[in-house]
A and B are shown apart, each in its own frame.
Chain A
Amino acid sequence: MGELLRKLESIDRRWIYLVIFAAVVIPFLMNLKLPVGKHSPSTTAVHDYIEQLPPGSVIQMSFDYSPASMPELEPMAKAVVRHAFEENHRILAMTLHPQGALMIRRALDEVATDLNKEYGVDYVDVGFKPGGVAVILGMGRDIIRVFEDMDARGEKLSAMPMMRDVADYDDIALMIDFAANSLPLAWIGYAHERYGLQIAAGVTAVMATDLYPYWKSEQLVGLINGLKGAAEYEELVGAPGFGVLGMSSQSIAHLLIILFIIMGNIGYFVTRRASQNRT
């Protein structure tokens, strides 16, 4: 028995990988949807801010992520897009990440088609623009000029009905950055601090600690934190999807990791006691 308990301290990592793999995959195959639970105040803050905007407001969304972080960020992006469209707001989609252009199409076009939204009237996709901070600053003066009067499909921006109401940040009611990098900090530092643009962020869970201080200091109106934030938002808009489904896998995986930690500690204490007894 003692030997068995001691072995708990040094389980081969490949067994851990196998168990985690099963914990992630099985809930997906079973389509297991556990309740999401209480909603975080930071997620609700984004939702409430969009609710209180007058219909027809223009919400800018920057899809600054790549395929790698897509599973965590796309569910929240889709939920926010759905919410904005349902509230009859208009969306200006863009990205500062080279691989973000295809992320926009995946997250935006599907929901827009689903809700019968018209391109150019209800939403515009200006695609990827290299330059990072230079783009953020330039948009504060003239959005159309920054994108050289051309959207991601090669059409003229100035000819689109929606863009007639959008000159600079003064015409944007809220900007939401979906990102797995430090770009939300650039948006806060340049667009919010310099031009007073209201900013919310939807980020991977590992990035969230970076942004909590900015939410506390009201430089962010809200923060959607990882897959849990996505699941909460999906519930808030009444469209449970991949976020809610993913949370079941995450729940079980977290429990298993805790279980492994406990097993490791049992092994550690048994080994320590044995060595103390020997001495």
Chain B
Amino acid sequence: MMRPVMTGFVALLLSALCCLTAAQGRFPAPTEVRMADDGEDDEGSKAIVTWQAPSVAEIDGYMLGGYEVHLQQLGGLYLGRMAFSTTRPAKEWELVALLPDVEATEIQLGDVVPWRRYLARVTAVYAPAGEALQASEDDPLKLANRDVGRSAAAMSAAPVSPAGKTYNRKRTNVLVWVLGYSAIVLLTIYLARRREIYIRPIAGLEAVNDAIGRATEMGRPILYIAGLSGIGDIATIAAMLILGHLAKRTAAYETPLLVPCQDPIVMTVQREIVREAYLEAGKPQNYEPENIFFVTDSQFGYVAAVDGIMMREKPAANFYMGYFYAEALILAETGSASGAIQIAGTDADTQLPFFITACDYTLMGEELYAASAYLSRNPLLVAQLKGQDIGKIVIIAMLLLGAAAATLGAHYVDWEFVKSFVEWFEVQR
């Protein structure tokens, strides 16, 4: 009994398939489908598909209305034509674009994966004469029209693998500067093993011992704020390096050190630094992790809390090291009103004037980075400052030369090398 039913079902399916093929065959397909890597795209995530319109635009009362573009990702990973992995499987064909536009003959696809190979196929879509093709409102890849005819899919001839560029040649000048300057710093560090290097006195850092002494005499704590930036900011790292040196000294004098934090990651690292400093100073029993605590990550919530601590606990010395925003003056003025000795250090140039007005000592810009070297007097770290100085001299020389060349090139001479010299300083995309 089952057998005739099955046979009938298969026959029905086959006839439906035949009808579908016939229907597809009825509508002319686009020709010359080509796929290419987008040469202007450096990322390697764009490809261009082009095609020619079918020779006949109207057939059996149906007019050509637009195109559907499908993409298939083939297996393997390719660098140019060279396969360096063949294990990755191919994916199914996927509809990637619907173009309800008769004139369209090209599309840029912006979502391809570099180093994978792709094939494209384009289907011409026909709508009853007088009716325009329209994309559905809910899904731009679906047609709103119910009655449409589709041609057979025309496929691109060869697979294409978007390559992209692995190096931006226009930025060679930046690379040269970075490598050159790094070499200078490393060289000075290497040379530091041979002779001692002079480091000019920095008043703010000379005052650190006075501040600790004052706090110890008064029996009040020291407040340390490592900026309001995250762990990814080099200023925060510099501030934590200073905290390490400071904690060693406060541990020796048994002066409490309060560190309210705005970032939980910074808090965790600071706890570790202070714990280690107390251990090194031989006073691990005096280390209190509760003194390094998280307050809030809200900028002004943090400021309110720290201001409160300043007015209630009356620390003898306040340290503001790291990157600060608009809260700088609010903190420093409150600290000043509480009568604490205040030492600040920041590379946030907009906040420097506020710290200079309200604090006793201020480390400006790079002095913040130099502080760790200064406090430790480690010759290798001090040598790095020498490297920075050499870097600065080179920059000053280049500024003078560049300004002279730009002025010459703009007003007086028409020499090619002068122009190229000026252009060499530009950072291009």
The answer to whether A and B assemble together is yes
Determine whether A271 belongs to the interface, using a CB cutoff of 8 Å to chain B: no
Identify which of residues 184-206 in chain A touch chain B, using a CB-to-CB cut-off of 8 Å: 193-194, 196, 204, 206
Chain A residues lying within 8 Å of B140, measured Cβ to Cβ, are 158-159, 164
Interchain CB contact (< 8 A) of A206 among B45, B110, B299, B326? B326
Contacting pair B110 A156 (CB below 8 A): no
Determine whether B43 belongs to the interface, using a CB cutoff of 8 Å to chain A: yes
Contacting pair A196 B429 (CB below 8 A): yes
Contacting pair A141 B43 (CB below 8 A): yes
Can you name 7 extra interface pairs (CB under 8 A) apart from A13-B337, A68-B326? A66-B299, A68-B300, A142-B111, A159-B140, A168-B110, A194-B429, A209-B350
Contacting pair B325 A181 (CB below 8 A): yes
Interface string of B42-66 (1 = CB under 8 A from A): 0101000000000000000000000
List chain A positions with a Cβ less than 8 A from chain B: 13, 66, 68-69, 141-142, 145, 156, 158-159, 164, 167-168, 180-181, 193-194, 196, 204, 206-207, 209-210
Can you list 26 residue pairs at the A/B interface with Cβ under 8 Å?
A: A13-B337, A68-B326, A141-B43, A141-B45, A141-B111, A142-B110, A142-B111, A156-B138, A158-B139, A158-B140, A159-B137, A159-B138, A159-B140, A164-B140, A167-B110, A181-B325, A193-B429, A194-B429, A196-B429, A204-B326, A206-B326, A206-B350, A207-B350, A209-B349, A210-B349, A210-B350
Chain B residues lying within 8 Å of A193, measured Cβ to Cβ, are 427, 429
Chain A residues lying within 8 Å of B326, measured Cβ to Cβ, are 68-69, 180, 204, 206
Which residue of chain B has the shortest Cβ distance to A161 in the bound complex?
B137
Which residue of chain B has the shortest Cβ distance to A195 in the bound complex?
B429
Nearest CB of A to B311, in Å: 14
Chain B interface bracket (under 10, 10 to 19, 20 to 34, 35 or more): 10 to 19
In angstroms, Cα B350 to Cα A13, docked, is: 24
Majority-rule SS of B interface residues = loop
Chain A residues lying within 8 Å of B299, measured Cβ to Cβ, are 66, 68
Nearest CB of B to A57, in Å: 20
Interface string of B300-331 (1 = CB under 8 A from A): 10000000000000000000000001100000
Which residue of chain B has the shortest Cβ distance to A208 in the bound complex?
B350
In angstroms, Cα B111 to Cα A66, docked, is: 35
In angstroms, Cα B300 to Cα A25, docked, is: 22
Nearest CB of B to A187, in Å: 15
Contacting pair B350 A159 (CB below 8 A): no
Chain A residues lying within 8 Å of B139, measured Cβ to Cβ, are 158-159
In angstroms, Cα B325 to Cα A207, docked, is: 9
In angstroms, Cα B138 to Cα A211, docked, is: 42
Which residue of chain A has the shortest Cβ distance to B135 in the bound complex?
A164
In angstroms, Cα B349 to Cα A156, docked, is: 43
In angstroms, Cα B50 to Cα A98, docked, is: 43
In angstroms, Cα B298 to Cα A69, docked, is: 13
Nearest CB of A to B90, in Å: 23
Nearest CB of A to B209, in Å: 30
Nearest CB of A to B112, in Å: 11
Chain B residues lying within 8 Å of A210, measured Cβ to Cβ, are 349-350
In angstroms, Cα B98 to Cα A158, docked, is: 13
Chain A residues lying within 8 Å of B350, measured Cβ to Cβ, are 206-207, 209-210
Identify which of residues 104-154 in chain B touch chain A, using a CB-to-CB cut-off of 8 Å: 110-111, 137-140
Nearest CB of B to A54, in Å: 21
Chain B residues lying within 8 Å of A206, measured Cβ to Cβ, are 326, 350
Residue in A68, A167, A193 with the greatest tally of chain B CB atoms within 10 Å: A68
Nearest CB of B to A73, in Å: 12
Nearest CB of A to B135, in Å: 8
Nearest CB of B to A218, in Å: 11
